[in-house]
Amino acid sequence: MKQLSTKVTSNAHGQDSSYFLGWEEYEKNPYDEIKNPNGIIQMGLAENQLCFDLIETWLAKNPDAAGLKKEGQSIFKELALFQDYHGLPEFKKALAEFMEEIRGNRVTFDPSKIVLTAGSTSANETLMFCLAEPGDAFLLPTPYYPGFDRDLKWRTGAEIVPIHCSSSNGFQITESALQQAYQQAQKLDLKVKGVLVTNPSNPLGTMLTRRELNLLVDFITSKNIHLISDEIYSGTVFGFEQFVSVMDVLKDKKLENSEVSRRVHVVYSLSKDLGLPGFRVGAIYSNDEMVVSAATKMSSFGLVSSQTQYLLSALLSDKKFTGTYLNENQKRLKIRQKQLVSGLEAAGVTCLKSNAGLFCWVDMRHLLDTNTFEAELELWKKIVYEVKLNISPGSSCHCTEPGWFRVCFANMSEETLDLAMKRLKEYVESTDSRRLISKSSHERIKSLRKRTVSNWVFRVSWTDRVPDER
């Protein structure tokens, strides 16, 4: 009889294991401006480090919030004892209003429909537990965040069936792709319980278009299934267009109090917009009372620290701060993204046109030796080892076309981004000249590389390190 559960022994989260090689290498040799200027630059981490100064200034002006005081009086005891899974009311109110602000106050969020969770990692898993039985499936457009394989499937037993999106139309979701995914699930004998999208998208950095959102709402209506919209990047929209939430679409279609609206759920978090992944603040928003009720009880397994709820309720209740922050955050992200895009252009590399997120979806297909995932992995290894940049290969995001990479821009200084672009340009230029010489020995090298890649993948699949950052 087995001593540990199958969840532990099956290692069901080790799928795109080669992905972790980059992480390992980075950890061994991390770039530091002063201490290690030739080290690997981390561009695989979707962190928002651009606006800490704004938060730090606010903290300095409002010491009570972190100091566990309210109007100069200590509230330490009340917070220390506060473990109500309904959450701190002031915090849920402030969070609801913040979510409204991000959506231009076009839609309203009722604080009583919010369930607080320890990060959106917890929110997504909890929603799976509430909406799906083991063996049920959710449809997800590819490419998607690698963490979903663990978050949605591992302990829940739910399955993911991909909705294949391709570069032919900018990776947008089409009706035929949706239907194909649904039929594929049926072929695999899986009951489809819903669709999960990330909007704005990780790794694409694009907002879902109104057309796609309408398509999704129509689809779930006809199939009588759920729609989860993970809007964790909603505050990172920097394009000219406004962010259109699934809640906007429900309102525009006059479906707010309909039965369909009870099957639409939003996931949020402060990890990306506010750059606070360490504080573990996530939320589920649902119009279905039973989902809110069950999810609230389940949140016992991952409550937000009351110390943190209090701090953030003070921060988010300050409307002057939130208005300035959201504005400034957009501005800085836009500038930084432009820096990356032009840097890549200078290296002859393009990206998917993006208007949100903390990363670009970069097209390196022309740098592949062959139009294969093996070639993508080879290119990636070169970029990690020779160019010394850790970026995320599209295969780790279940992209169906080789050659795409996610490159983050908001987790480093301008100077570091410049350096990264310089290194890439140098590599591309040298590769171009090298490729002309080695074309003849190409076949021999191809077979060699294939074997080595497989071994690496095998070895790394048992590594203990999983990057939980998105």
Partner 1 sequence: MDLLSRKATCNSHGQDSSYFLGWEEYEKNPHDVVKNPHGIIQMGLAENQLCFDLLESWLIQNPDAASFKRDGQSVFRELALFQDYHGLSSFKKALADFMSENRQTRVSFDSNNLVLTAGATSANETLMFCLANPGDAFLLPTPYYPGFDRDLKWRTGVEIVPIQCTSSNGFHITKLALEEAYEQAKKLNLNVKGVLITNPSNPLGTTTTQTELNILFEFISKNKNIHLVSDEIYSGTAFSSSEFISVMEILKTNQLENTDVFKRVHIVYSLSKDLGLPGFRVGAIYSNDKDVISAATKMSSFGLVSSQTQYLLSSLLSDKKFTKNYLRENQRRLKNRQRMLVTGLEAIGIGCLKSNAGLFCWVDMRHLLSSKTFEAEMDLWKKIVYEVKLNISPGSSCHCEEPGWFRVCFANMSEETLKLALKRLKKFVDNGTLSRSCQVGESQSLKSSRKKTTTTVSNWVFRLSFHDRDAEER
Residues carrying an active site annotation? 145, 230, 232, 272
Stretch that binds partner 1, among 50-58, 99-107, 334-342, 435-443 (CB under 8 A): 50-58
CA distance 434 to 455: 26
Site stretch for partner 1 (CB under 8 A), options 234-242, 306-314, 400-408, 420-428: 306-314
Site track for partner 1 across 158-177, x = CB under 8 A: --------------------
User: Among all chains, which residue has been given the structure tokens 């930084």?
Assistant: 336
- 166: tokens are 């391709």
Q: Which of 196, 298, 356, 360 binds partner 1 (CB under 8 A)?
A: 298
- 134-154 as b/e: b if 16+ CB within 10 A: eebbbbbbbbbbbbbbbbbbe
> How far is 444 from 183, CA to CA, in rounded Å?
41
Q: Residue 411: CA atoms inside 13 Å, Cβ hemisphere, count?
A: 23
Answer whether the bond into residue 200 is a cis peptide, omega within 30°: yes
Q: At residue 418, what is the residue type? A: D
From the list 93-101, 114-122, 177-185, 423-431, the region that binds partner 1 by CB under 8 A is 114-122
Find the helix packing angle between 306-317 and 89-102, rounded to 10°. 50
Shortest distance in whole angstroms from residue 9 CB to partner 1: 8
- Contact assessment for residue 262 and residue 287, using Cβ atoms and an 8 Å cutoff: yes
Query: Which pair of tokens denotes residue 117?
Result: 């969770």
Q: Residues 237, 246, 250, 294: which binds partner 1 (CB under 8 A)?
A: 294
CA distance 131 to 62: 41
Binding residues among 223-252 for partner 1 as defined by CB under 8 A: 224, 226
Q: Which of 121, 199, 236, 313 binds partner 1 (CB under 8 A)?
A: 121
By C-beta, is 13 or 449 nearer to partner 1?
13
Specify the DSSP element, H or E, that contains 325. helix 319-346
Applying the rule CB under 8 A, the residues between 134 and 153 that interact with partner 1 are: 134, 136, 150-151
By the rule CB under 8 A, 416 interacts with partner 1: no
Q: Is 458 exposed, middle or buried (0-12, 13-18, 19+ CB in 10 A)?
A: exposed
Residue 404 CA from chain centroid, whole number: 16
**Mask for 325-344, x = binds partner 1 (CB under 8 A):** --------------------
Identity of residue 77 = K
List the interface residues with partner 1, window 69-108 (CB under 8 A): 74, 76-77, 79-83, 85
| Cβ-based nearer residue to partner 1, 128 or 349 | 128
Among 54, 59, 107, 368, binds partner 1 (CB under 8 A): 59
464 touches partner 1 (CB under 8 A): yes
Work out whether 366 is an interface residue with partner 1 (CB under 8 A): no
Among 34, 73, 176, 278, binds partner 1 (CB under 8 A): 278
Does residue 41 interact with partner 1 by CB under 8 A? no
Q: Is 34 in the site for partner 1 (CB under 8 A)?
A: no
Among residues 217, 218, 383, 229, the alpha carbon closest in space to that of 375 is found at 383
Told to check if 385 binds partner 1 by CB under 8 A, we report no
Residues from 181 through 210 that contact partner 1 (CB under 8 A): 191
